[in-house]
Structure 1
Amino acid sequence: MNRRTGSYALACVLTAIVTLQSVYGANAQSGSGVEKKYRLFGEIFLRIQSDFVDSPDGEKLLDAAIKGMLESLDANSTYINPEAFHEMLFQNQGKYGGIGVDAVMEGGLIKVVAAVDETPAARAGLMPNDLIARIDGDEVQAMSKFEAADRMRGATGTPVTLSILRKGHNPFDVTLLRDEIRTQSIKWQILDLDIGYVRISTFTEGTQEELEEAVFSLKKKAGGKLKGYIIDLRNNPGGLLTQAVSVSDSFLDFGEVLSIRGRRAEHSRSFSARTGDLADGMPVVVLINGGSASGAEVVAGALQDQKRATVVGTKSFGKGTVQSIIKLGEQGGLKLTTARYYTPSGRSIESKGIDPDIVVVQEGKPSSLDYSLQSNQSITDVQLKAAIDILHGKVVSPAKSE
């Protein structure tokens, strides 16, 4: 890029700055510290363009500036390029291509929040808090979260190799075959002939409808003998907030579900339950763990605060912020943290998570769906066993798997 083109790019940036100054006003007065930094940025940009030893790409410089600005805010605010923006829309619809992992950027690495059920990531055994250090041999530290996500996506059947750092283990590589990810957010079954088990793996556009179908089927199959419900939110990374609120509402007759509080009035609101309890007032146990994040924490926190459910498992992830998606014309979009989640009692979820009512530690991957319903064999999933015992009226003490 020549100096003239670079100057044009800078002019566009400065025009945007002036526009933002006129819109927001704050700190935009002539001679203010912020305005001085604007001018300093422009001077540095032009100096790089004219004097750096190699001819720099002005667009890449500006991309790096945008990336650094957003990363200085928090781990969740980011620029989304057009391709990633399009892919994100597919994810919210419950269908996308890739390996099926939800993650955040932390310390320059990709931190796994959860692997979506029955995806290449889940089959490969990726676990919450795993750190992805390299993708196909390239250092993640040189990438943004969405650049890394782009690298993990690809054509069905093609391989991608991830270098994993896991606490207590030596670094290791795992090769996954990309697949078309079709996320069925809910699975259900009857446990012990009288317990309705509902597994919610993520919150997509169809989650509420799937939940209603699952509960209807459970009631019909149990023939009126249900004693309660287990809602399994373990390793659920979240998804659409509207669906998480709707699922919470499904088990509440009244009261607040969630409040969202931001700096600007339009980013703050509260959600209240409508009359009608899908479970007909029967006892509910919610299972959570360190991979339960965002929308999963909204559900667990709402039902816990409203005394509607007993929460069992281990502390959740602690992702309680709202990211507003701002479309930037044909240039993709901006994912910007604009508010935080608060449970009905006023607890902030961000960085704190939801503490279970009864702590039960499960070592290794839960195997609830492998539990034989027709026998009295021991259950290796101690968290699930605790939930069943609670609904059968037994006293449950904090437990740890052997």
Structure 2
Amino acid sequence: MAYKRDADVCRMKTKSKVCVCIITMFVFASILSSNAAGQNSDGQRALNILNEAYLSVVNKNAGRNYSENSLKLIHQVIEKIARSYIEPLSISELANYSSSAIRGYPSGTDPKSLANAAIHEMLSRLDDPYAKFDEHSKPRNAGRLGNIGIEATMIDGQIKVIAPLDGSPAQKAGVQPGDLIIGIDREKINGLTLEEAMKRIRGPCGTEVLLQIRRKGSRKFDLSVPRTRFQVKEIRYDVFGDIAYIRITFFGPNTEKLLRKSLGEIRQKTGGAGLSGYIIDIRSNPGGLVGQAILLADAFLENGMIVGTSGRQVKGSRRYNAHRGDLADNKPILILQNEATASAAEILAAALRDNHRAVIMGTRSYGKGIVQTRFPLTPKGQITFTTHKFLTAAGKQIDGRGILPHIVVNGDTRPAYGIATVSINHCPTAGKARDRMLGCGILFMSKGRSIDAFTQALQQLE
């Protein structure tokens, strides 16, 4: 009956309007037929209303393929979100969001503008800071764009810095984990998505971006950060006596290979002398490639579950297990983490902790444990949104909770329960940077990983 109604409307329109209406009707027919088994009457009714809203304002002189493809794009996004988004959303809800956005445009609007409006309206309703729509269009100067090197999320319309990358312009300029970016180049960012805000931060190399920052315990202030193209050094290492120190700043495409190379160089540097243990430092590591974090966890485990993913769709829910072969030869491992340890770095920490392979020292980690999936769209573009959550080997969720340390070193106001709590001011310093948490880590390892011996040694230092 819905199609008969559309046909009646067509007869009352001009010839050009009839063409658009017929195109629209066929598009809806194909979409509805492919999903009819899973759709209820509310969903079909909402899609028909969306059909009418689109037809009422679309430019009737636009080409047939152009109009048809724009409408198909809206429906593809509706279908993919309804089927795979981590929180349930119905076809009718998404179609109504799209209709509402389209009705805000005047008659004669370009099909692409209507599609973009509908898609962005749906994404804004997801409450997913990582959701984005990519049209596969690059600006002419894309190859010369620079960035400042931050990992961030969107909270209440503001950008929250998870961590600046090691050696990045942001870190050198003084951006800190937990900073809220509330303005970019003297313009407020309210209403922007995370992707839109990050695009404003990026710009031609050699220029600067002015960030308005609100930091806990201080007033808001402006900070100029240069835009450059820089390369993050994923791994660096050092040796303190018979303890190997490995700093992982980011999980890039070659992190696992660099780890193997570093371990080989450490063995050469120590002349084959036996190491008593390893300190793996993932403080202020914002994550990166999850696959690399899984490979690194596997490198230190003989067996056991590394991490699992869970979502509304069984497809994509997986369990990742370790394989035989421990690159550290079962030597003790201590992990250093802080509140800016996030995402892939948390997967590594949780895997080694829950498999009783490592002790964690520091503060509770950030708590970003969700998976984003990219869905290709026809004829071009892709949409990205959250589809799964990470689960640790102990079956616990990472997102919003973080990974708790065994030994708590102060500095985090969130509750964290460990077998020992240490004031960082009581820790000795270590390395050129006179790093106190590293100093506590070396002391703990040198005392045979005994909590009692470690705390007694700290008391003696006082």
- Partner residue of 1:372 out of 424, 428, 431: 431
**Which amino acid is 1:165 matched to?**
R
Kindly report which structure 2 residues correspond to 1:183-202, keeping only aligned pairs within 5 A, or say none.
183-191=232-240, 193-202=241-250
Alignment of 1:259-274 (within 5 A): 259-274=308-323
The residue type equivalent to 1:216 in the other structure is G
Mapped contact 2:148–2:226 kept (Cα < 8 A): yes
Which blocks of at least 5 consecutive residues in structure 1 are unaligned? 374-378
Provide the identity percentage: 33
Distance in 2, matches of 1:6 and 1:124, equals 57
1:159 maps onto 2:208 in alignment: yes
| C-alpha deviation, 1:120, in angstroms | 0.5
Letter paired with 2:363: T
Unmatched segments (≥5 aa) in structure 2: 1-14, 58-100, 413-423
Cα distance per residue 1:72-116 (max 9 Å; x no partner):
32222222342579999x9xxxx9831111111221111111100
User: Deviation digits for residues 28-85 of structure 1, max 9, x if unmatched?
Assistant: 23x32x3333344455554687886898666445323322322332222222342579
Task: Within 5 Å, give how 1:198-277 maps onto structure 2.
Answer: 198-223=246-271, 224-277=273-326
Conserved? CA contact 2:129–2:194, under 8 Å: no
- Once the two structures are superposed, residues 290-346 of structure 1 have per-residue CA deviations (whole angstroms, 9 ceiling, x without a partner) of 111110110000000000000111111111111112233674321121211111110
Is the CA contact 2:150–2:165 (under 8 Å) kept in the aligned structure 1? yes
**What residue number does 2:132 align with?**
78
User: Secondary structure of 1:182's match?
Assistant: coil
Structure 2 match to 1:382: 436
Aligned counterpart in structure 1 of residue 115 of structure 2, from 58, 62, 81: 62
- Aligned equivalent of 2:166: 117
Paired with 1:141 and 1:351, the residues of 2 have a C-alpha distance of 23
Does the 8 Å CA contact 2:369/2:397 hold for their aligned counterparts?
A: yes
C-alpha displacement at 1:154, in angstroms? 2.0
Indicate how the Cα distance of structure 1 residues 321 and 56 shifts in structure 2: closer, same or farther if over 3 A, else same.
same
Letter in 1 for 2:39: A
The residue aligned with 2:68 is none
2:344 is the counterpart of 1:295: yes
TM-score w.r.t. length of structure 1: 0.83
- Report the CA distance shift for 1:72/1:217 in structure 2 as closer, same or farther (over 3 A): same
Residue 387 of structure 2 is aligned with which of 318, 329, 338? Answer: 338
Higher relative contact order (Cα pairs below 8 Å, separated by 6+ residues): 1
Secondary structure of 1:176's counterpart equals strand
SS at match of 2:230: strand
State the alpha-carbon separation in 2 of the partners of residues 239 and 14 from structure 1: 44
SS in 2 for 1:149: helix
Match for residue 356 of structure 1? 405
Normalized per residue, which structure has more strand?
Answer: 1
Structure-to-structure mapping, 1:88-167, within 5 angstroms: 97-167=146-216
Corresponding position: 1:38 with 2:47 = yes
Structure 2 CA distance for partners of 1:17 and 1:261, relative to 1, 3 Å? farther
CA RMSD of aligned residues (A): 3.6
Give 1:23 deviation, angstroms. 4.5
SS in 1 for 2:365: coil
Asked whether the equivalents of residues 145 and 204 of structure 2 are also in contact (C-alpha less than 8 Å), the reply is no
**CA 1:49–1:226: 2 relative to 1, 3 Å:** closer
Give the total of aligned pairs. Answer: 380
* Compared CA separation, residues 250 and 125, structure 1 to 2 (3 A): same
Per the alignment, in what secondary structure is the counterpart of residue 200 of structure 2? helix
1:152-197 deviation per Cα after TM superposition (whole angstroms, max 9, x unaligned): 1122211111111112111111111111121221111112x22211
